[in-house]
Amino acid sequence: MKYLSTRGDATPRGFCDILLEGLAPDGGLYLPTHYPQVDAATLQRWRSLAYADLAFEILSLYIDDIPAADLQRLCRATYTAEVFGTEAITPLKPLEAGVYLQALSNGPTLAFKDMAMQLLGQLFEYELARRGENLNILGATSGDTGSAAEYAMRGKRGIRVFMLSPHGRMSPFQQAQMFSLQDANIHNIAVDGVFDDCQDIVKAVSNDLGFKRSQRIGTVNSINWARMLAQVVYYFAGYFQATSSNDQQVSFAVPSGNFGNICAGHVARQMGLPIAQLVLATNENNVLDEFFRTGAYRPRGTAETLETSSPSMDISKASNFERFVFDLLGHDAKAADRTRHLFGPALASEGGFRITDVEFARIASFGFVSGTSTHADRLATIRSTWEQQGVMIDTHTADGLKVARQHLRAGVPMLVLETALPPKFADAIEEAIGQRPPPPAALAGLESLPRRFTVMPPSVAQIKQYIESHTAA
Ligand SMILES: *Cc1c(COP(=O)(O)O)cnc(C)c1O
């Protein structure tokens, strides 16, 4: 399998060539040249596989530069009941008739990002050892991504993590999770500023190509293809649990921000998984809902991006969205020309774009529908799910469930992806149902551990210096 860029660079690259990369050199995102097709016989064979072996089968279709035995070992080391809480890894929980939650948040940081990040940790360590290289991962986080990255990379050989977070602005839970890590390769830098200051510093450091090369700076952001690929697996796992034969269809509802999670569902559907609808749910930051209803994509500035009670979906610009547009336009050289125009000059000069009516009409054949959920919707959904089903859900999952209920079809199970657990967002839960979720077992004891973090001013120069002084062998 080779990979190409959504903006036309077709230099043949294998999976391991792009594993440690961010954007393609032309500014596009990497995608496979084609989506392998999964036939009914293969689906039947996969039905009975354990999650780790299912992951191995799916990854094998996209990775031909890691020996099969090694890849299988990495998958089995990642997806264990010990790390993810159950043998099923992503079990279904029934709600009202025909509606299920698919639990993706039973990993170490209680959010679905663990599903991909834990595998990424294994793949990075393996590939760096094979090359005899090191990598210094630099990131900015307001909470979920940083903790998932740190728990995936802690103790891994050849990898150090430098994670910037806004000092005093993460939730107490997130601070306890990240700052209690005692691993020598994890560096928490609490920046005196807001999240945007952290992100600006990461950009400034990454734009210094000399520094980036000499210090071997890398990232783990959501455009990484390996992260997307890891997420494809649970769509198959959910389908197998909700159906008994391959002539049945299911739909998925996905709380969306950067379009990474639902893009993996799109990939699964392109491979032939019988998905009726991919229901995209946004919060008040509904740039994507707007696109799927109107064909116009208008990313917003930081100033227009609202702070909501489902903060992991508070994005202005959906970083993975370009992948879907490239596929919608035909996934070929002509599509790359148009994608390059839309996400290059059109975005830069017009601040957005509108696809043609003919292009817009194709969206239906990709199964996408969408909707927006507000703070009031989240509270009402959390409350009704608690009162009627006795199930406590978090604010992001509530956005998904709210929009899912608008798109139910008789006879088609609806799987709502549970992207985080309630204790991460306890204040909103209390607002909805008048009680706080019990603190998770994962947190027990963390509070009493010494905290490891360094407070720094929002200075690019000082943070570069910190990295330099902590990477000297
Ligand atoms: C990251 C995140 C999302 C959004 O996922 P995308 O892949 O960015 O669309 C939704 N919910 C939670 C809890 C998250 O952490």
Residue 444's H or E segment, with its range, is: none
pLDDT at 444 exceeding the cut of 90: no
pLDDT band, very low/low/confident/very high, at 240 (cuts 50, 70, 90): very high
> What's the whole-number mean pLDDT along residues 343-366?
95
DSSP 3-state of 190 = strand
What sign for the dihedral angle of Cα 453, 454, 458, 462?
Answer: negative
Q: Best mutation site among 29, 110, 113 for ligand 1, i.e. most ligand atoms within 8 A of its Cβ? A: 113
> What's the whole-number mean pLDDT along residues 248-263?
97
Task: Look up tokens 């200051």; give the residue.
Answer: 197
pLDDT at 143 exceeding the cut of 80: no
pLDDT tens for 9-55 read 989 999 999 998 888 989 999 999 999 999 999 999 999 999 999 99
* CA–CA gap between residue 106 and residue 179 (Å, rounded): 20
255 lines ligand 1 (CB under 6 A): yes
* CA–CA gap between residue 175 and residue 168 (Å, rounded): 8
**pLDDT score, position 317:** 82
Atom of ligand 1 nearest to the CA of 261: 7
**pLDDT score, position 308:** 92
113 lines ligand 1 (CB under 6 A): yes
The answer to whether 440 and 170 have CB atoms below 8 angstroms apart is: no
Task: Look up tokens 């997806």; give the residue.
Answer: 79
The answer to whether 319 and 227 have CB atoms below 8 angstroms apart is: no
The answer to whether 318 and 257 have CB atoms below 8 angstroms apart is: yes
**pLDDT score, position 222:** 81
Could you give the percent of the chain with pLDDT greater than 90? Answer: 83
Q: How far, in Å, is the centroid of ligand 1 from the Cα of 16?
A: 25
The DSSP secondary structure of 260-283, one letter per residue, reads: HHHHHHHHHHHTT--EEEEEEEE-
111 lines ligand 1 (CB under 6 A): yes
pLDDT band, very low/low/confident/very high, at 473 (cuts 50, 70, 90): low
Helix boundaries (H) for 132-191: 144-153, 172-179
DSSP 3-state of 186 = strand
Which letter, b or e, does each residue of 104-122 get, where b requires 16 or more Cβ atoms within 10 Å of its Cβ? Answer: bbbbbbbbbbbbbbbbbbb
The answer to whether 417 and 112 have CB atoms below 8 angstroms apart is: yes
Atom of ligand 1 nearest to the CA of 260: 7
92-109+225-433 fold = Rossmann fold (3.40.50)
SS percent in the chain: helix, strand, coil, step 5: 50, 15, 35
* CA–CA gap between residue 275 and residue 254 (Å, rounded): 13
141 lines ligand 1 (CB under 6 A): no
* CA–CA gap between residue 240 and residue 79 (Å, rounded): 17
pLDDT tens for 112-141 read 999 999 999 999 999 999 999 999 999 998
Annotated catalytic residue 113: yes
pLDDT band, very low/low/confident/very high, at 195 (cuts 50, 70, 90): confident
pLDDT at 234 exceeding the cut of 80: yes
Q: Tell me the C-alpha to C-alpha distance, in Å, between residue 186 and each of 152, 155, 173, 226, 301.
A: 11, 8, 18, 22, 32
Give strand ranges (E) for 147-210. 159-166, 186-191
pLDDT at 260 exceeding the cut of 60: yes
Q: Supply the residue whose CA is at minimum distance from atom 1 of ligand 1.
A: 312
pLDDT tens for 52-79 read 999 999 999 999 999 999 999 999 999 9
For residue 347, report the phi and psi dihedrals to the nearest 5 degrees. -65, -45
* CA–CA gap between residue 311 and residue 301 (Å, rounded): 16
The answer to whether 298 and 351 have CB atoms below 8 angstroms apart is: yes
Q: Best mutation site among 109, 112, 142 for ligand 1, i.e. most ligand atoms within 8 A of its Cβ? A: 112
Structure tokens that stand for 60 in this block: 């094998």
Among the listed residues 113, 156, 402, 424, the single catalytic one is: 113
* CA–CA gap between residue 272 and residue 269 (Å, rounded): 5
pLDDT at 442 exceeding the cut of 80: no
**pLDDT score, position 466:** 96
For residue 370, report the phi and psi dihedrals to the nearest 5 degrees. -150, 170
Residue 448's H or E segment, with its range, is: none
Atom of ligand 1 nearest to the CA of 231: 7
For strands 296-297 and 353-354, give the pairing. antiparallel
pLDDT at 273 exceeding the cut of 80: yes
For residue 186, report the phi and psi dihedrals to the nearest 5 degrees. -110, 125
> What's the whole-number mean pLDDT along residues 287-316?
91
5 lines ligand 1 (CB under 6 A): no
Residue 20's H or E segment, with its range, is: none
278 lines ligand 1 (CB under 6 A): no
pLDDT band, very low/low/confident/very high, at 194 (cuts 50, 70, 90): confident
> What's the whole-number mean pLDDT along residues 250-273?
97
Task: Look up tokens 């208008």; give the residue.
Answer: 298
Burial class (CB within 10 angstroms; exposed 0-12, middle 13-18, buried 19+) of 332? exposed
DSSP 3-state of 72 = helix
Residue 65's H or E segment, with its range, is: none
pLDDT band, very low/low/confident/very high, at 231 (cuts 50, 70, 90): very high
The answer to whether 432 and 386 have CB atoms below 8 angstroms apart is: yes
pLDDT at 353 exceeding the cut of 60: yes
* CA–CA gap between residue 468 and residue 329 (Å, rounded): 44
The answer to whether 285 and 306 have CB atoms below 8 angstroms apart is: yes
* CA–CA gap between residue 82 and residue 100 (Å, rounded): 24
Atom of ligand 1 nearest to the CA of 259: 9
Q: Which of 3-7, 11-15, 143-147, 148-152 has the lowest mean pLDDT?
A: 143-147
Query: Mean pLDDT score of the chain, rounded to an integer?
Result: 94
> What's the whole-number mean pLDDT along residues 382-392?
96
pLDDT tens for 448-469 read 789 999 999 999 999 999 999 9
* CA–CA gap between residue 160 and residue 4 (Å, rounded): 29
Q: Supply the residue whose CA is at minimum distance from atom 8 of ligand 1.
A: 258
Each domain of the chain, given as residue ranges in start order, spans 92-109+225-433
Pick the closest to residue 468 from 207, 200, 160, 221 (CA basis).
160
Whole-prediction pTM: 0.96
Higher model confidence: residue 355 or residue 221? 355
**pLDDT score, position 188:** 97
